[in-house]
């Protein structure tokens, strides 16, 4: 039987330039797949990059994400999610708090590994392909990886023309199916949120929305009363 406990999920936005309206659009998107007893709250970092397109920005955002995680745990949140497909701050947050911290990329890879034999990964910028490959290796999902490709559009420009973006993604995914042998697609950037639904009308394979993957993983942890092992993610000494 489903646990009827009210679940409070905190989503940490590292992009300091995101408006309250944009945050609400993302919150409503997440709620579409949530259990009725789940509440989702979005909080934004006060300092850090406007977008995460390098390891430097990844690390800058991670410091602020950990600070937010500690505060949100004190406020009674059950699970936390950083709103970025590169999973910034996830490992450090798991050391800093007792509650589960869910990475959208890791969650997407877990789901993808159950839906096919080889998944393709799409990232915004061509220059970040090697960085994304490294993250997949670090998560130990490289055996499932077909190939990482990009649309080569900066994160902050992804949603400026959704029609062009959908056309570009459709063509790219068809290439990944034919040339890379991908039978599932993982979207690494949260800027792609909501697009997998439309894309799956155009291509014959599953496409994973990283926001939905993370929010459903977060609910699973909460319903099963699970948290990350402190034998692995030990608290810092001080």
Of the chain, the percentage scoring pLDDT greater than 70 comes to 98
pLDDT tens for residues 215-229?
A: 999 999 999 999 999
Q: Are residues 151 and 91 part of one domain?
A: no
Average pLDDT over residues 161-185: 97
- Predicted confidence at residue 5, as pLDDT, reads 79
Looking at the predicted structure, is the pLDDT value of residue 140 above 60? yes
Average pLDDT over residues 14-19: 94
Mean pLDDT of the chain: 96
How much is the CA Rg of the chain, to the nearest whole Å?
17
- In a domain, residue 234? The reply is no
- Predicted confidence at residue 221, as pLDDT, reads 97
Average pLDDT over residues 88-101: 98
Q: Are residues 24 and 71 part of one domain?
A: yes
- Predicted confidence at residue 3, as pLDDT, reads 56
pLDDT confidence band for 102 (50 / 70 / 90): very high
Q: Are residues 12 and 80 part of one domain?
A: yes
In terms of residue numbers, what domain contains 57?
7-103+213-224
- Predicted confidence at residue 237, as pLDDT, reads 84
- In a domain, residue 229? The reply is no
Q: Are residues 47 and 136 part of one domain?
A: no
Report the distance separating Cα 143 and Cα 145, nearest Å. Answer: 6
Q: Are residues 134 and 61 part of one domain?
A: no
pLDDT confidence band for 182 (50 / 70 / 90): very high
* Cβ atoms of 214 and 73 closer than 8 Å: no
Report the distance separating Cα 212 and Cα 79, nearest Å. Answer: 14
Looking at the predicted structure, is the pLDDT value of residue 126 above 70? yes
Average pLDDT over residues 112-138: 97
Q: Are residues 197 and 218 part of one domain?
A: no
Looking at the predicted structure, is the pLDDT value of residue 173 above 50? yes
pLDDT confidence band for 184 (50 / 70 / 90): very high
């Amino acid at each position: 039987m489903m646990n009827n406990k009210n679940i409070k999920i905190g989503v940490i936005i590292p992009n300091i330039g995101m408006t309250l309206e944009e945050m609400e659009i993302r919150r409503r998107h997440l709620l579409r797949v949530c259990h009725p007893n789940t509440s989702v709250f979005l909080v934004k970092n006060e300092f850090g990059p406007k977008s995460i397109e390098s390891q430097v920005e990844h690390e800058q955002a991670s410091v602020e994400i950990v600070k937010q995680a500690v505060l949100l745990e004190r406020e009674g949140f059950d699970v936390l999610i950083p709103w970025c497909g590169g999973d910034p701050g996830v490992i450090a947050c798991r050391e800093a708090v007792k509650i589960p911290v869910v990475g959208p990329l890791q969650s997407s890879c877990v789901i993808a590994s159950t839906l096919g034999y080889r998944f393709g990964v799409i990232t915004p910028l061509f220059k970040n392909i090697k960085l994304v490959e490294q993250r997949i290796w670090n998560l130990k999902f490289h055996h499932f990886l077909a190939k990482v490709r990009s649309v080569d559009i900066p994160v902050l420009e992804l949603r400026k023309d959704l029609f062009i973006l959908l056309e570009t993604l459709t063509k790219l995914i068809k290439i990944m199916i034919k040339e890379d042998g991908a039978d599932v697609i993982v979207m690494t950037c949260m800027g792609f949120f909501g697009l997998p639904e439309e894309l799956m009308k155009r291509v014959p394979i599953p496409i994973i929305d990283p926001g939905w993957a993370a929010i459903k993983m977060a609910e699973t942890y909460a319903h099963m009363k699970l948290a990350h092992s402190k034998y692995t993610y030990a608290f810092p000494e001080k």
